[in-house]
Amino acid sequence: MEDDLGNWRRTHYSEELNADIEEDVTIAGWVHEIRDLGGVMFLIIRDRKGKVQVTLPEKKVKDKLMDKISEISKESVLMVQGQVKEDERAPGGLEVLPKEIKVLSDAETPLPIDVAGEVNTELDNRLNSRFLDLRNPETLSVFKIRDKTFTEVRKFLEKEGFIEMTSPKMVATATEGGTELFPISYFEKEAFLNQSPQLFKQIMMASGLDKVYEIGPIFRAEEHDTRRHLNETTSIDIEMAFSDHTDVMGILERLINYVYEKIEQECSEELKKLDKDLKPPELPFERIKYDEAVDICNKKGIEITWGEDFPTPGEKAIGEEIGDYYFIVDWPSEIKPFYAQPKEEKEISKAFDLMHPEFELSSGAQRVHSIELLKKRMINQDLEPSEFKFYLDAFKYGMPPHSGWGLGAERLLMAITGKPNIREVVLFPRDRKRLIP
RNA sequence: GCCCGAGUAGUGUAGUGGCCUAUCAUGUAGCCCUGUCGAGGCUACGACCCGGGUUCAAAUCCCGGCUCGGGCGCCA
């Protein structure tokens, strides 16, 4: 029989309890462990912030309460009202002696995954029961860090004078190319899920907002099947007027450094649970030219001809050589999108990639702001300028030079948490095979 | 999409032709125990992905399917 919440409310999280609290407290959470020693019973109650022991000495607790609790199953939801008591025999030196307990929800047994984390459950099973997986303090740590990361990214960009914007996720055709799109039905029209906010944040550069950023979902219909790709992911995008690529590279490296510092300082408990030793990367990040990167690959036996993008083994080879975050600059124009500004030597562009030793994190560039050059580059890349009218119009009536980048939020979180699989840092990942839950 | 590998109790595993009536841990259920903290002790429960084939004999070998993992490609 499950109890009614009634007028009970949580007065304290586990972490907030201390021996100086004289009045009765009400704690709320899940039964993490049950240890029945016969004459005394211990319940470990877990909430978002930690765990606390509830001690039930048989002689001091009402029979009715004892009977009720002796039938409890792990992971059931409880509220406990009682006295906080200091006792060095209790884990953490504190325990709660209950006067009343409400069983708000009985948990079925057995559980589909091991929540306590003593037996490692495979990711696939964990994702099928993500709500239970989150009850594992290690998994929870990943998502507390994720939350903190987004908070700090926003703080940093706000401090730098950026304005948060939101672009549409449902679009007609005409995106910047380079990837497959998911088609959707939009009343009588065909539409797509947007691959990035690129075109929209550039349009805002003609609005006078000067510095904008967006954190939001992007969709790619590629049939990739790797540990570092998803079909729905989160991008952190900025666009900045009156700037060139070197300006936004500076913002990017300082942002990464700042987020690392903040996580290191304010998520030390979470990092410890993940067994991750986080060191902010030193500023400035190394900048290597595309040509140098090609040389490194060739030296290491990965053959690349000029004008090709780096294959996965190439990225790893360069990462091994550098050992920390680095930029690749001076990319051939032909392998960068139409909106990347060419340098005076036209075959080189003002585009850059930010690399982690194991994967790409971000790419950006100074953008083309001349409408004539834009049209020319579109045609070169087999795109039809007339389909981009909504975008090109923004370049007609005063468009300042501008630059920006897009940063893969999940890639950043992989780097911070040290998780080898991108699915670990997304609550409900969407990949080639998974659409549920 | 290509290549490689794997599917054994709820979870994680051992077992690679007969010693399998299938190992161990965890879990679940029950009993004992007044200070546990990965509690302990005793007892019980629970599994060979599906379909076909080879063989006297298949968890084990072969074929097909399904599912999962890794690498690559594509892509960020």
Give the model's confidence band at A1: pLDDT under 50 very low, under 70 low, under 90 confident, else very high: low
Residue A208 has pLDDT above 70, yes or no: yes
Task: Determine the Cα–Cα distance for residues A322 and A162; give it in Å rounded to an integer.
Answer: 31
pLDDT tens digits, residue range A236-269?
999 999 999 999 999 999 999 999 999 999 999 9
- pLDDT attached to residue A98: 93
Amino acid at A291: D
The answer to whether A220 CB sits below 7 Å from nucleic acid chain B is yes
pLDDT tens digits, residue range A343-376?
987 799 999 999 999 999 999 999 999 999 999 9
The answer to whether A227 CB sits below 7 Å from nucleic acid chain B is yes
Task: Determine the Cα–Cα distance for residues A355 and A326; give it in Å rounded to an integer.
Answer: 5
- pLDDT attached to residue A153: 98
- pLDDT attached to residue A117: 67
pLDDT tens digits, residue range A16-40?
999 889 899 999 999 999 999 988 9
Q: Quote the tokens at residue A255.
A: 């942002």
- pLDDT attached to residue A180: 84
Which nucleotides of strand B lie under 7 Å from a protein CB? 1-2, 10-13, 25-29, 32-39, 67-76
CA of A225 to C1' of B1 (A): 10
Does the ipTM surpass 0.85? yes
Which protein residue lies nearest to nucleotide B26, measured between its Cα and the C1' atom?
A119
Give the model's confidence band at A176: pLDDT under 50 very low, under 70 low, under 90 confident, else very high: confident
> Does the annotation flag A369 for ligand binding?
no
Residue A174 has pLDDT above 70, yes or no: no
- Architecture field, domain A14-105: Beta Barrel (2.40)
Q: What is the mean pLDDT of chain A?
A: 92
A window 84-143: Cβ near strand B (< 7 A): 87, 89-91, 95, 109-114, 118-125
The answer to whether A400 CB sits below 7 Å from nucleic acid chain B is no
Classify domain A132-285+324-425 by CATH number.
3.30.930.10
Shortest-distance nucleotide from A314 CA to C1': B72
Task: Judge if pTM exceeds 0.95.
Answer: no
> Does the annotation flag A222 for ligand binding?
yes
Give the model's confidence band at A341: pLDDT under 50 very low, under 70 low, under 90 confident, else very high: very high
Residue A425 has pLDDT above 90, yes or no: yes
Q: Do A64 and A75 contact (CB within 8 A), yes or no?
A: no
Closest CA to A336 of A307, A361, A370, A314: A307
CA of A110 to C1' of B15 (A): 26
Spans of all domains in chain A: 14-105, 132-285+324-425
pLDDT tens digits, residue range A368-407?
999 999 999 999 888 889 989 999 999 999 999 999 999 9
The answer to whether A382 CB sits below 7 Å from nucleic acid chain B is no
The answer to whether A217 CB sits below 7 Å from nucleic acid chain B is no
Residue A329 has pLDDT above 90, yes or no: yes
